[in-house]
Chains A and B, each alone.
Chain A
């Protein structure tokens, strides 16, 4: 993947919308493209939070494993999305397990370098953190919808009175 391709892939991600070209170049420079086969673990719940990722292509599932219920897949992340908020929000550990569903190409962004860029470029830091917050807000909203168990009882969707 050329540096230009890397820049374009990063530019597509919501979290990086509106950042300066110079900062975009810095992120591309720190990025490393990794290919994962299907059904590979990218990181596990509880791993030390060292890197965030940009999904260039492919689909991953986020899952939580627990004794008695096994591994439950909670959501999926697709190309153009940001993966791994824990490292940049100074969480020490990853909160879920990320497993590839299909072949995936990810750009690995080391936490230390991302946060150092935030320090050096407050504009980048603001735009990026705001983007991370918006991504998290959407995922929270989606999680709330899932909690409502909308399809547990479909009485509301049809034949409500019957």
Chain B
């Protein structure tokens, strides 16, 4: 998929375009999904894994992954957690309010490499949001893939993102295994970390692509486990999140070794970035 920043066709990529908040889904404590429609014209097309810059006047911009399906273009969805100034301001908005949107930016999950393969999605916490478009994409084209499995880790059973989607995803052909750090008395599922439920590995590791998004430390452990199970490093893809300011590879804030996460990423094959993941000050 293209690594070139793509903006909405015919618009200035530096200028936010006004979008209306059509709906707000309260997902978890401090986590919301905004359903957005452009005030004028059509929503931009995007690739699974790309992100938009959401702009709140007076507060600034935040890079938020697109979490809706590429088959559901009219309404763009973004799931975010209120963790800072901009996302805090976003969380105070209401249906009908207007925000600015620039994008979509960045590259995508390697959707062209997935047909004919087993695909394992490994998500941690709110890291499931950037994976949702590619999960939906593969389920829409289910016959093109071998096994599809989601391994999802969260802090506790009450903070599982998109839980309402799980039965639909399972019916559509996605195997789902969930693990939590802290079980409740009624939790019948797994307790532990995502790497523990990667064994036994489903299918031939050499014919498997692993797509990972979550806390960076988790992604490092997952990549290491996948490789130890026989998956080639070039078939393990991580979606990185760093401070992104311009989203165009101009400001350098998100530079990661020789890469700019906003422009060359956010999705990288593990072999391309593994040496930089070990550095503390990057």
**Pair B241/A158 contact, Cβ less than 8 Å:** yes
Least CB distance, A82 to chain B, in whole angstroms = 13
> At the interface, yes or no: B7 with Cβ under 8 Å from chain A?
no
Partner of A145, one of B81, B182, B221: B221
Q: Judge if B13 is at the interface, Cβ distance under 8 Å.
A: no
B61 to chain A, nearest CB (A): 8
- B191-A161 in contact (CB<8A): no
Summed over the interface, the residue pairs from A and B with CB atoms below 8 Å come to a total of: 129
- B234-246, CB under 8 A of A: which get 1 and which 0? 0000000111110
Contact between A138 and B196 (Cβ–Cβ < 8 Å)? yes
Among the listed B80, B125, B130, which residue makes an inter-chain contact with A151, where contact means beta carbons less than 8 Å apart?
A: B125
Within 8 A of A (CB), among B215-249: 215-218, 221, 241-245
Q: Are B90 and A73 in contact (CB under 8 A)?
A: no
Q: Mark B177-206, 1 if CB is under 8 A from A, else 0.
A: 000011100011111110110011000000
* Interface contact B80-A158, CB-CB below 8 Å: yes
Q: List chain A residues, Cβ under 8 A from B83.
A: 153-155, 159-160, 162
Chain A, range 42-93, C-beta contacts under 8 Å to B: 59, 61, 72-76, 78, 80
Determine the distance from Cα of A145 to Cα of B194 in the docked complex, in whole angstroms.
10
Residue of B nearest to A162 (CB): B62
Check: A141 CB closer than 8 A to any chain B CB: yes
Closest CB in chain A relative to B42 CB, distance in Å: 25
Closest residue of chain A to B123 (Cβ to Cβ) is: A157
A157 touches B214 (CB 8 A): yes
* Interfacial residues of chain B within 92-144, with CB under 8 A of chain A in the complex: 124-127, 129-130
B64 touches A158 (CB 8 A): yes
In the complex, what residues of A have CB within 8 A of residue B64's CB? Answer: 158-159, 162
Taking CB atoms, residues of chain B closer than 8 Å to A75 are 191-192, 196
Q: Is the CB of B188 within 8 A of A101?
A: yes
Q: B176 within 8 Å of A by Cβ?
A: no
B contacts with A: majority SS: mixed
Q: Complex: how many Å from CA A101 to CA B183?
A: 11
| B10 on interface, CB distance cutoff 8 Å | no
For residue B213, CB closer than 8 A to chain A, the reply is yes
Query: Residue B41 at the A interface, CB < 8 A?
Result: no
| Chain B residue total in the interface (Cβ 8 A) | 53
Q: Complex Cα distance A14/B199, Å?
A: 10
Tell me whether A76 and B221 are in contact (CB under 8 A): no
Report if B154 contacts A (CB, 8 A).
yes
Expressed in whole angstroms, the minimum distance between the Cβ of A121 and any Cβ of chain B is 27
Give CA–CA (A29, B87) in the complex, Å: 62
Indicate if the CB atoms of B87 and A159 lie closer than 8 Å: yes
> Are B215 and A159 interface neighbours, CB within 8 A?
no
A residues in contact with B253, CB < 8 Å: 161
Whether B217 lies near A151 (C-beta < 8 A) is: no
> Is B167 at the interface (CB under 8 A from chain A)?
no
Contact B81 A158 (CB under 8 A): yes
Is there contact, CB below 8 Å, between A157 and B188? no
Chain A residues within an 8 Å CB radius of B54: 162
> In chain A, residues 8-41, which have Cβ atoms closer than 8 Å to a Cβ of chain B?
14
B-side contacts of A159, CB under 8 Å: 62-64, 80-81, 83-84, 86-87, 241
**Chain A residues packing against B (C-beta within 8 Å):** 14, 59, 61, 72-76, 78, 80, 101-102, 138, 141-142, 145-146, 148-162
- Known: A14-B199, A158-B64, A158-B130; 19 extra A-B contacts, CB below 8 A, are A72-B182, A73-B187, A145-B195, A150-B214, A150-B215, A151-B181, A154-B81, A154-B126, A157-B241, A158-B65, A158-B127, A158-B129, A159-B64, A159-B80, A159-B86, A160-B244, A161-B62, A161-B243, A162-B63
